[in-house]
Structure 1
C-alpha cells in the first residue's frame, strides 16, 4: 500500500509538482528572510541621514574651538551612515518628504558649552537627534544606537581634551607661581640693598651740603677781603706816585707807609694762611666728590638693571596672571605696576643725581683752580709786602737811599696791584663757582631725598608683592563641584525630538503586520472557498465573475472590519484619521483578495504557490521592518512591483505621518492593482464561459 502511494505521487504530475513546491516553501521562506536580514547593519552606509551644523565656534584661552566643524570632518570620513551635510531647512524638508530617515543637529552653542567646564554651572553639549519614526520605526531605533556611538566618541575626545587642558593649566600655574615667588624674594632683597645705599647716600650728601655752605661763606668773606686788598694796593700805588711827585712831602708819608706796610704784611700773612686752608679743603672735597660720583654711577647702573629686571618680570608674569581669578589678578597687576613705576622713577632720579654730581665735580675743579690762583696771588702779595716793609724801613733809616727806595717801592706797588687784581679776580670766580657748587649740592641732596623715598616705596611694594605672590601660590586652586565632575564625565546631552513620533513598537510595526494579516487571510480563503467552480452553470462570464467577486468582497470587508475593531478598540491603537484608516484597511483587503483570486482562479494550486512566493518577497522588500536600503540590492528592485509596498506606506501615512499626499498616492496604486486583477479575472471567466458553451453545444 505504501509503495503504491509513493508510486502514485511520482507518476502523477498534478500531485508531484505541488508536493515539490510545498517542500521548497520552508527553504524559500527561511532562506529569503535570512538572506535579506542576515546583517542589515552592514547596509547602514546606504541609510541617508542629514547632518545640520549650526555651531558658531568659541574662543578658549586664546584658541579657536570648533567642535562642530571637527565632528563634521570626522563624519565625512565615517562609514556609519550615508551622511548628507545640509542646511536646517533642507534637512527638515527632506525629513518631511522621506528623503532622510533622521536629522542630527548641532546647535549654535555646541563649542561654546565646551569652554564652561571650569565654570560653577557648566553647560552640557546638546546633540539633537530627530528620527522620522513614522517613515520607518526601526530605522529610528537603529539611528538612535548610531547617535549614541557618535556621542560616546565625541565625549571621549572632549573629556581627553578637558583633562589635558586642565592638567597643563595646573602645572603651568604651579611653576609660574613658584618662579614668581622666588623672583619676588630676590626683588625684595635687592630693594633692601638699594634702600640701604640710598640712606647712606642721603647722609653723605647732607654732610656735603653743610660743608659747601660753610665753604660758600668763607669764599664770600675771602672775596670781600680781596676786594678791599685791591682797593688798598691801588691807593698805595697812587700814594707812592704822589710821593715820587711830591718828594717834599715824603717825611710825612713815610710814617703812614711804614704803618700801612706793616698792616698789609700782617693781612697778607693771614690771607696766605686762609688760602692754604681753602686749597686743602677743596682738595679734600675733590676726593669726596670723586668717591660720590663712583657711588652714584654704581647706583645708577644697579637702578637701571633693577628697572630692566622688573620689566622682564612683569612680562614673564603676564601669562600666569591670566590663569588667576580676576580679584587676585587685579591686585597683583596693581602691585606690579607700582614696582615698575618705582624702578623707572629710581632710574630717572639716579640719572639726575649723576648729572648733579657731574656739575658738582666740575664746579669743585673750577673752585680748586681759582683757589690755587688765589694762593699764588697771596704768595706774591706776601713777597711784595715784605719788600715794601723793607723799603720803608730803609727809607726811614736813611734818606740817602730814598730815591732808590721810592723807585723800588713804586715797582713793588705795581706788582702788588697786579697781584691784588689776580686775587680779586680769583676770589670773584671762586665765589661764582661756589654758588654753582652750592646749587648742585642742593639739587643733589633733593634728588637723594627723592631717591630715598622711591627706594622706600620700592621696598614696601616688593614686600607686598612677595606676600601676595606667596598667598596666591598657597591659595591658587581650581574650584570644582559635582556639576564640573558630571560635565567631564558626561559632556554631551542627547536630545531626541521625534518627527511623526510613534508611541510604541506595536504602532510602529502595525502597517507591516496588518498588510501581512490581510494577505494571509486572502490566501487562506482560496483554500476553504472554491474560487473557480460555480454553484450552477454560468450564463455569462460576468455573472460567473460577479458571483465569486461579490462573495470575496464580502469576506474582505468582514476581515477588514474585524482587524479595525481589534486594533482600535481592543489594542486602542491611535491613528491620525479613523475613517481613512478603515477605508485603507478595506482597500488593502480587497486588493489582496483580487490578486489571490486572479492567481488561484487562473493557475489553480500553482497560483497559490506563486502567491506564497509573492508573500515571501513582500515580507522582505516592503520596508515594513528594516529600511529598504538595508536589504541586499538584488531584492530591492522587487519593492515597487508588489502591492504590499504600497499598503505598508499607506498605513504609515494614515497611522503615523498624516501625509495625505502619500496616502492618496499609495491608495491609487492599490486601486490600480485591484482594477487590473478585476479585469484579468473577468476576462478569464469570460473565456471559460465560452468554452463551456462550445462544449455544451457539441
Structure 2
C-alpha cells in the first residue's frame, strides 16, 4: 500500500513537473512577446495621442505682401496625422494640459506673422512658438511632442530663410548690375580723366604763354602810361596855345575894328582934304592926315601879323593878299613924309590931293571888304577855337582818366602776371594730381571690372535656386547600415536575451527540483551530461518557440532567419550552461545568485541606451557578462551581420559556457570527494 502511494505521488509530481516545464517553455515568449508586441511601433501610433494646437496669430500685410503664417502652419498640421492634433482655444488647451486631456500644447502668438514680416524686411525680431508639455504625464511622448515643436520651428525658419535669401540674392544681383554700371562709369571716368589730363597740360602751356603775355602786357602798359603822361603834357600845351590863339583872335578883332575906323577916318580925312583944300589951316589937316596914315599903317601891319597866325588858311590868305597889295600900293612912309613935308609947304600937295583922295576911297572900300571878310573869318575861327578848347579840355579829362586807368591796369596786370604764374604752378600740381587720378581711375576701373567678373562668375544661380539651396543647403543621403525599422526591433535583442535568461533560469530550477525529488528514474538523465542535454533541448525549444512567434506574429525580419534561430538556440544553451554549472556546483542556493546576475546584466548589457551612457561601475562589469555579447550578436543578426565580430561573440559565449560547465562539475566533484573523505574518517 505504501509503495502504491509513493508511486502515485511520483506520478502526480511528475505531472506537475511536466506542466511546469511546459509553462516555463513559454515564459520567454510571454515575457518578450507581450512586451515587444505592446511597444513594437509606438511612434507609429502617436496619431491617437492628443496634442492641443492654439493659433492666436493675426495676419499682417506689409509692402504689398500678406503674412498669415499661423494659418499656414495650422493648415499643414490638419494634414499631419503624426500626432492627434486638437485645434482648440487657449483656455481649453491650458486647462487640458494642466489636467489629463492633452499631453502638450503648441501656441502660435498673435504677433507671430508681424515678427516674421519684420524679420523679412531686415528688422531681426525673432518670432516665438510657445511649447508646453505635461512631462509628468509621459516623459517619452513629451520628447516626441517637443520634436514636433522643433519641426514647426524648422518649417517656419525655412520659410524665413527662403524669403531672406531671395531678398539677399536679389540684392547680390543688383550689386552685380551696379558693378557693371560702375565699371562703365569708371571707364568713362578714365577717358574723361585722360581728356582732363590732356586739357590740363594744354592749360599749363596756355597759362605759361598767358603769364609771358601778361608780363609783356604790363611792359606795354607801362610804356603807354609814360606816353599818356606825355600826351597830358601836350594837351596842356595845346590848351595853353589855344587860349593864347583865342586871345589873339580877340585882339585881331579889335585891330580890325581899329582898321575899319582908321580907314573910315582916312576916307573922311581925304574927303575933307579934297574938299577942303581951299580951307584954311591946311597944314593942320595934312598933319592930321599924316597921323591917320601912320595909324592905318600900324593897323595894317597888326592885321597882317594876326592873319599870319589865323587857323583859316583860305580867308587869311585872301585878306593877307589884299593887305599886302595895299601896303605895297601905298608907300605910307613916303606918303607920310610927303604929307608932313606938305604940311610945311601946302602948295606942293595940291596936285597930289586928288590922287590921295582916290586912293583913300579905295583903301576905305578895300578895308571894309577886308573887315567884313576878317569879321566872318574871325567869328568862325573863334567858334572853332572854342570847340577846339572844349575838345582839348575833354581830351585832358579823358587823358587823366586814361592815366588813372593805365596806372590801375599796370598794377592789375602785375597782379595778373603774378596770379598767372601762381596758377601756372597750380596747373602743374593739377597735372601731377590728374596723373595720380588717372592711375587711380584705371585701378578703380580694373577693380570694378574684376569685382564684376568675380560676381558674374560666382552668381551662376537664379534667385529661386539660391533661395532653395540656402533654405535646404544639403541633402541627407541616408546610407545607414544595419537598418532598424521599428522601435520593437531595436529592443528585441535586449528582451530576447532577458527572456532566454529568465527561461533558462526557471528551467534549471525545475530540473534541479526534479533531480532532488527523484521523480525521474532514468539513470542517464540523472547523470551530469544527461541533465545538461535534457535541459539544453528544453531551452532550445524555448528559443525556437520565441523566434517563431517574433517572426510570425510581430513581423520581425532578421537578415537571416536560420542564423536567427540558430543564434537564439545557442544563447539558450549558453545561459542554461551557466545556470546548470552554478546549481550543480552549489545546489539550489545558486538560484538567488543567478537572479542577482540577471539584475546586474539589465544595467550593464547596453540593451536600451549605449553602455557609454551608463555609470562607470556598470561599464566595468559589462565585458564580464554574457548578456552583453548576446545583445550585440542578436543586433547584428536582426539588422546586419558582421561575420568577424559575430564569430568573436560566438567564441566569447562558448567560453562562458565551457567555463561554467567545467567549473560546476569540478566544484561538485571536489565537494563530494571532501564529503567522502570526511565520512570515511568518521
TM range (shorter): 0.3 to 0.5
TM-score by length of 2: 0.37
Q: Which has the larger radius of gyration?
A: 2
Higher normalized contact order (CA 8 Å, seq sep 6+, divided by chain length): 1
TM-score by length of 1: 0.36
